[in-house]
Amino acid sequence: MVEDPDAGLVALTGQGDAEAASRLVARHLPRMTALARRMLGDSAEAEDVAQDVFLKVWTQAKRWKPGAAKFETWLHRVAINACYDRLRKKKGVPLDETDERADPGPDPEQALGNVQLSQAVDAALQTLPERQRAAITLCHYQGLGNIEAAAALEISVEALESLLSRGRRALKEKLRHLSGAGASGSRTAQA
């Protein structure tokens, strides 16, 4: 049986406890929004996906069966599926450029380089096939281990590792032009 730190809150949410639902949202909203933003490349759509995920939590919590997998793994699965749905609807429509992010670092030149690198990585990530993008996002940005990420994607660990490997190679190739600008191979591999 899998020990789940959210099990009690999910059970209470299933009984209609709004406070428990609020605590689940507070605990997981930033990660679900970040996941969706990485998958979709659009902050507004990411917020919509996160809202859809937590609406599903509210409506499905009473059906939750603890012990099979962690609640957070299920949340990632729901968010990934919502992103896939939105990406399918957008097929053929170019994704908007990623949002600029201010870096509060002390060196403006370095900050500009970091923002540009981040934007380049985000743009390259958006060009990957959906499943590779999902695997990289779950493992590198969401911090899930291979077993959890594979469960969230409903694939084997070996299939996940294959997706990660292909995705990393594609990112490295797409970002190779940055290697002369100070980006190291290990930095792009971590993208």
| DSSP-derived secondary structure for the chain | ----TTHHHHHHHHTT-HHHHHHHHHHHHHHHHHHHHHHHS-HHHHHHHHHHHHHHHHHHGGG--TTSS-HHHHHHHHHHHHHHHHHHHHTTSPPPPPPP-----S-HHHHHHHHHHHHHHHHHHHHS-HHHHHHHIIIIIS---HHHHHHHHTS-HHHHHHHHHHHHHHHHHHTGGGGGGT--HHHHHT-
Residue 56 confidence (pLDDT) above 60: yes
CATH of 7-90, picked from 1.10.1740.10, 3.30.365.10, 1.10.10.10, 3.40.50.300, is 1.10.1740.10
Q: Quote the pLDDT of residue 97.
A: 42
Residue 25 confidence (pLDDT) above 90: yes
Q: Quote the pLDDT of residue 15.
A: 92
CATH architecture of 108-189: Orthogonal Bundle (1.10)
Q: Please state the pTM of the whole predicted model.
A: 0.62
Range ranked top by mean pLDDT from 2-6, 91-95, 109-113, 144-148:
144-148
Spans of all domains in the chain: 7-90, 108-189
